């Protein structure tokens, strides 16, 4: 029998969650009471008025990064001391973010705590993160995150069970005081859901029947076990199809961010004359995806548009899609598909939490972000392997190479040239000044001409949730040009060092003869304009971005 301890504590002032939960350096989380304060603040802000957590289930798991183990032990002991009836944990403390969402929904849990800093590097000197997802399986709303933050600023005590380490290494049931702990296979429920959505028979034929070659890069992160199980064991892709399939606490010292710059081996295997037909990668916690064909890169914005246009080819979406949504900085490619399908298209602020209400209300079926995030109403998180399986289903049915499918799509809808320029680890006050200065000038920009371009409107994006009417302001500065091109500026809400300025640039091209340019060339004038409008070099001292995607 464990003993419940009440520990006196003092608030930390900096526990304000960003775009996706609280992300800090591991060393920050290792401070005495830091993690405990935040976890207790989650419990205090969400505890039901009558009966508390009695009869309630909490799902816990993470991407396996450094500190995952230790943090989970603490969280489980705190869940017991806060009177939860049951905790469901992934074996070895592992759950991908989409699998956690799936499990919360499937077992009708009260919610879940997911440990991840997603695509940020891991290890003792790198990043850690924690977030709370509600009963719908989705990230806490802005309102709830604000309540958790407010609680973290007045917390005085937390509760924790005094007990030995809980063994999470084996599937099965344990007991901690009055609380049951169910350790589950992290893959099984998620794999079963994927099998319901996609035509596994046809994908198996594609992967085993001929010369089709697939390469999936799990980036030493959470999707390794999922990809081994689903792509290799179940769907028959030969061993070796999954690269870097073993989750490591420091991701092998690499950056688990699925973009071309961080996936050199995958780039090599999908390039040249002997290129694999299909390549994909996922991030630290398994919610992002990058899609490649032989010698071909599919932008995340195009991928969302393509899945929307071809959705009925997958059994789970056979009856069509109700609507789509994209984050504001994501390209307008999916808008064109929605228009031609005659379905609504919603434009939300950055971050998956804004899709939850639209999904719950049945207003949308598919949604996505330019930052390698795509998902649907099957869970309430973006889902990396889901996107990979959707593409494989599509390729199996259409029998054409990735590049041909995308080019044909461009012929029909035009090509939305797109690029994102990131200026990382900029001094926070310099980044703030840049944004504030530009914000002050927005009103004067409409009607101004720059070479071939004319600014139609410029504003600071605000969003009113169509379901609950909640409002979110200052979600990114938008420069909208005549003809549909856009330049967008916003500051990242997931970094742990200084500020990251993101500049998103897009322009639409209808002429198929002009569809084969490098986006950096096609968008060169707009890129130049993006520098001049915000005086990026003046404020940041940087003449060029650190990362271009
Ligand atoms: C970034 C992306 C955003 C995404 C978020 C979480 O946020 O831009 O689209 O939802 O990361 O993704 P920001 O505020 O840094 O731009 V994940 O896979 O890191 O949880
Ligand atoms: Co992620």
Lowest mean pLDDT among 145-154, 349-358, 487-496: 487-496
Ligand 1 close to Cβ of residue 259 (< 6 A): no
pLDDT digits (tens, 9 = 90+) for 459-496: 999 999 999 999 999 999 999 999 999 999 999 987 77
Q: How, if at all, do strands 157-162 and 172-176 pair? A: unpaired
Sequence-ordered alpha helix ranges (H) in 10-167: 26-29, 34-46, 68-81, 97-106, 142-152
- Closest ligand 1 atom, residue 18 Cα: 14
Q: Which two tokens stand for residue 138?
A: 């989705």
Can you list the domains of the chain with their CATH numbers?
A: 3-186 (3.40.120.10), 190-413 (3.40.120.10), 415-548 (3.30.310.50)
Ligand 1: distance of its center to the CA of 492 in Å?
A: 8
Closest of 448, 425, 461 to residue 350, by C-alpha: 461
First to last CA, the chain: 54
Residue closest via CA to ligand 1's atom 2 equals 371
Ligand 1 close to Cβ of residue 118 (< 6 A): yes
Between CA 258 and CA 280 the distance in angstroms is 8
Residues with CB under 5 A from ligand 2 (ion): 118, 283, 285, 287-288
Query: What contacts 206, CB < 8 A, 6 or more positions away?
Result: 212, 392, 395, 396
Active site residue 118: yes
Calculate ∠ Cα 405-407-409, nearest 5°: 70
| 8 A C-beta contact, residue 422 and residue 323 | no
3-state helix, strand, coil in the chain (%, to 5): 35, 25, 40
User: pLDDT averaged over the chain?
Assistant: 95
Residue closest via CA to ligand 1's atom 13 equals 492
Residue closest via CA to ligand 1's atom 20 equals 118
Closest of 314, 285, 288, 326 to residue 391, by C-alpha: 314
Average pLDDT over residues 89-104: 97
Choice among 118, 282, 301, 530 that is catalytic: 118
Instruction: For the full predicted model, state whether its pTM sits above 0.85.
Output: yes
pLDDT digits (tens, 9 = 90+) for 263-318: 999 999 999 999 999 999 999 999 999 999 999 999 999 999 999 999 999 999 99
Give me the DSSP letters along 89-124: EEEEEE--HHHHHHHHHHTT-SEEEEE--TTS--ST
pLDDT digits (tens, 9 = 90+) for 40-67: 999 999 999 988 999 999 999 999 999 9
Distances (CA, A) of 165 to 29, 175, 257, 451: 19, 12, 32, 66
Q: How, if at all, do strands 290-293 and 278-281 pair? A: antiparallel
Q: How, if at all, do strands 127-133 and 242-243 pair? A: unpaired
Ligand 1 close to Cβ of residue 302 (< 6 A): no
Higher pLDDT, 169 or 494: 169
Residue positions counted in the chain = 549
| 8 A C-beta contact, residue 384 and residue 369 | no
């Amino acid at each position: 029998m464990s003993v419940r301890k009440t520990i006196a504590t003092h608030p930390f002032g900096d526990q304000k969650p960003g775009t996706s939960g609280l992300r800090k350096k591991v060393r920050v989380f290792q401070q005495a009471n830091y993690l405990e304060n935040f976890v207790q603040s989650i419990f205090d802000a969400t505890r039901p008025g009558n009966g508390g957590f009695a009869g309630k289930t909490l799902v816990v798991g993470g991407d396996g990064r450094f500190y995952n183990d230790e943090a989970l032990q603490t969280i489980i002991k705190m869940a017991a001391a806060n009177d939860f009836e049951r905790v469901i944990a992934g074996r070895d403390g592992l759950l991908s973010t989409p699998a956690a969402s799936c499990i919360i929904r499937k077992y009708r849990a009260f919610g879940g705590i997911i440990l991840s800093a997603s695509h940020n590097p891991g290890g003792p000197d790198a990043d850690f993160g924690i977030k709370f997802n509600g009963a719908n399986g989705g990230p806490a709303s802005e309102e709830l995150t604000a309540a958790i933050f407010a609680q973290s600023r007045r917390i005085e005590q937390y509760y924790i069970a005094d007990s030995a380490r809980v063994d999470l290494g084996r599937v099965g049931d344990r007991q901690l005081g009055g609380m049951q702990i169910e350790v589950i296979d992290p893959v099984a429920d998620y794999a079963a859901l994927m099998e319901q959505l996609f035509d596994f028979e046809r994908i198996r034929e594609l992967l085993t029947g001929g010369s089709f070659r697939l390469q999936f890069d799990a980036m030493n992160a959470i999707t390794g076990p999922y990809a081994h199980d689903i792509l290799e064991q179940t769907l028959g892709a030969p061993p070796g199809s999954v690269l870097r399939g073993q989750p490591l606490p420091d991701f092998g010292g690499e950056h688990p961010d699925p973009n071309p710059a961080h996936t050199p081996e995958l780039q090599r295997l999908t390039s040249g004359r002997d290129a694999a037909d299909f390549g994909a990668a996922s991030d630290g916690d398994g919610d992002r995806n990058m899609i490649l064909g032989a010698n071909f890169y599919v932008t995340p914005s195009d991928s969302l548009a393509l899945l929307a246009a071809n959705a009925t080819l997958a059994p789970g979406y056979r009856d069509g899609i109700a609507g789509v949504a994209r984050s504001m900085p994501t390209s307008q490619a999916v808008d064109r598909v929605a228009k031609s399908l005659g379905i609504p298209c919603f434009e939300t602020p950055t971050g998956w939490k804004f899709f939850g209400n639209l999904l719950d209300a049945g207003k949308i079926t598919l949604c996505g972000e330019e930052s390698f995030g795509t998902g649907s109403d099957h869970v309430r998180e973006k889902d990396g392997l889901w996107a990979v399986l959707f593409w494989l289903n599509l390729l199996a049915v259409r029998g054409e190479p990735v590049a041909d499918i995308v080019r044909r799509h461009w012929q029909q809808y035009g090509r939305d040239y797109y690029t994102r320029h990131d200026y990382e680890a900029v001094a926070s006050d310099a980044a703030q000044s840049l944004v504030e200065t530009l914000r002050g000038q927005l009103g004067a920009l409409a009607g101004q001409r720059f070479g071939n371009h004319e600014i139609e409107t410029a504003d600071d994006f605000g969003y009113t949730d169509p379901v609950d009417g909640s409002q979110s302001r200052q979600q990114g500065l938008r420069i909208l040009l005549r003809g549909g091109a856009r330049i967008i500026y916003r500051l990242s809400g997931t970094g742990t060092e200084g500020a990251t300025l993101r500049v998103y640039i897009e322009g639409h091209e209808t002429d198929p003869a002009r569809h084969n340019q490098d986006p950096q060339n096609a968008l060169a004038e707009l890129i130049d304009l993006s520098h001049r409008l915000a005086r990026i070099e003046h404020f940041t001292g940087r003449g060029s971005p650190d990362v271009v995607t």
